[in-house]
Amino acid sequence: MQQTQRLTWLRTSDPRRLASLWWQADSVRREAVGDEVFLRGLVEVSNICRRRCAYCGISAEHKGLERYRMSTEEVLACAHTAVRLGYGTVVLQAGEDPGLTKTRVSDLIRQIKEQTDLAVTLSLGEREEDELAAWRAAGADRYLARFETSNRELFDRIHPPLNGQPADRIRLLRTLRVLGYEVGSGVMVGIPGQTYDDLARDIEWFAESELDMIGVGPFVPHPVTPAVKLPAAAPEQQVPNSVEMTCKVVALARLACPKTNIPSTTALGTLDRENGTELGLQRGANIVMPNLTPHGYRFLYEIYPGKANSQDSPADVREELARRIHGLGRTIGAGRGDSPHYRAGLAAAAVCGEAE
Ligand code: SAH
């Protein structure tokens, strides 16, 4: 698809035209990755963070926030809950916490792998290559690191350098690919200062960078963060942080990357509690990431407000999700739910290897 066409989709609000975008994305999703929705159990292992991201509620700037790091035993208990609920993957997410050392995380991954058949996804921020290599060697399967926006100047404004070193998430994604991870990235939609052109470029970048997973969520302002005071772009340029705009990006991401795993994100479900999860699933998504973090910690991992509201038990959350997914005529996927895009890459590499 041409960039001008993407821009036209991003700018249209005509419900009849949009119905055709939703239909196209849903058809491509069905054909490329099928009707199964895969569930990933999310464990927010630490809210300690050395970064000062302008958008994030657990930034090091948030001085009053009580900090925690889960013990290995606590995380393992969550992994066993994931198994009991039939999830094929556990996602370990955290602030950029230096206390999650190479050894500690390697040990945790090894224990999860010894005790379960779960796929392990990491989302621990920008870490050193030797750490990423060790975690991969310990058995980690996937890594998530959103590039947040392809507008470099905007990215630097919202994701300040650490010790004078500007973040380089594109390089990080390349390193992860070389190490053999299934690589996930993505963006927030409606960051103050983000334009339609920026968003169209983000989608182009999804396709060019051959991502295995793409996460797209609306920017949800957190009152304690500086992002609420960031200047917006000119009114005709500024992208809204709406459910509809997020769904457009999900749909266009599916059209650009048919075989990629795309979640209906928690942020989308937070913005529209009634229907957000379903809308994402009907407009290109095939993954949901239910939260398994113990309640005592969950409300401290408030990257944006309203996220941690559910007091329901993991089993109740699983049941509620099953109801929503079956309501769409879809099924819950069994097993790991590896990215079909990643699997296709492995198969192609194997064929090339044979040819040599
Ligand atoms: N420390 C890890 C994990 C961060 S949380 C990392 O930096 O990669 C995962 C994602 O949540 C972020 O990449 C960002 O896209 C999203 N996020 C953070 N704050 C948000 C906010 N205020 N609104 C919406 N999404 C947010």
Half-sphere exposure for 40 (CA within 13 Å, toward CB): 29
Q: How far apart are CA 172 and CA 137, in angstroms?
A: 17
Amino acid at 339: S
Q: How far apart are CA 257 and CA 137, in angstroms?
A: 28
Tens-digit pLDDT profile for residues 323-337: 999 999 999 999 999
Q: How far apart are CA 260 and CA 256, in angstroms?
A: 9
**Cβ burial, residue 251 (10 Å; 0-12/13-18/19+):** buried
Using alpha carbons, list the distances in angstroms from residue 11 to 176, 181, 240, 245, 254: 34, 35, 11, 9, 18
pLDDT (0 to 100) of residue 307: 79
Mutation to probe ligand 1, out of 92, 304, 307 (largest number of atoms < 8 A from CB): 304
CB-based contact 24:251 (threshold 8 Å): yes
Give the Å distance between the CA of 92 and the centre of ligand 1: 13
Closest approach atom of ligand 1 to CA 93 = 3
Tens-digit pLDDT profile for residues 16-27: 999 999 999 999
Is residue 119 very low, low, confident or very high in pLDDT (cuts 50, 70, 90)?
Answer: very high
The mean pLDDT of the chain is 95
56 lines ligand 1 (CB under 6 A): yes
Q: Average of pLDDT values for 69-79?
A: 98
Q: Whose CA is nearest to atom 13 of ligand 1?
A: 146
CATH of the domain at 323: 3.20.20.70
Domain range enclosing 321: 3-355
Percent over 70 (pLDDT), the chain: 98
In the predicted structure, residue 321 carries a pLDDT above the cut 90: yes
Tens-digit pLDDT profile for residues 131-158: 999 999 999 999 999 999 999 999 999 9
Is residue 349 very low, low, confident or very high in pLDDT (cuts 50, 70, 90)?
Answer: confident
Tens-digit pLDDT profile for residues 289-313: 999 999 999 999 999 998 755 778 8
> Total structural domains in the chain?
1
pLDDT (0 to 100) of residue 356: 44
pLDDT (0 to 100) of residue 155: 96
Do the bridges between strand 213-218 and strand 119-123 make them parallel or antiparallel, or are there none, so unpaired? unpaired
